[in-house]
Amino acid sequence: ETGVTQTPRHLVMGMTNKKSLKCEQHLGHNAMYWYKQSAKKPLELMFVYSLEERVENNSVPSRFSPECPNSSHLFLHLHTLQPEDSALYLCASSQGSWSSYNEQFFGPGTRLTVL
């Protein structure tokens, strides 16, 4: 595997389900990001992890819970989601300080549908 991979690629879940999204980067980067992409809207930054510590949380509802067990893996745990949470969830990684721009490499995303 190369680059940034995400699983699953598609997920359909009910509002009472609990599921997790997984991201893995094979680039040796030390920062990882979760973004939400809704149709015809700008990408919304959700969480940033730098050296496995969460450094940014952009007022994301607590029904989204990130986890970064090591610098290569990032999870997004989902529970009691709402239909408006349906979107493409993108993971990205970069090398260097997250607070100054370093090129972010994106995964292909997980298309989430909440029924």
The footprint of another protein (CB under 8 A) covers: 4, 40-43, 45, 90-92, 98-101, 103-104, 106-109
| Beta carbon nearer to another protein, 16 or 41 | 41
Tell me the closest approach of the beta carbon of residue 32 to another protein, in angstroms. 13
Minimum CB separation of residue 36 from another protein in Å reads 11
Q: Which is nearer to another protein, 18 or 54 (CB)?
A: 54
DSSP for the chain reads --SEEEE-SEEEE-TT-EEEEEEEE-S--SEEEEEEE-TTS--EEEEEEETTEEEEE-S--TTEEEEEEETTEEEEEEES--GGG-EEEEEEEESS-TTS----EE---EEEEE-
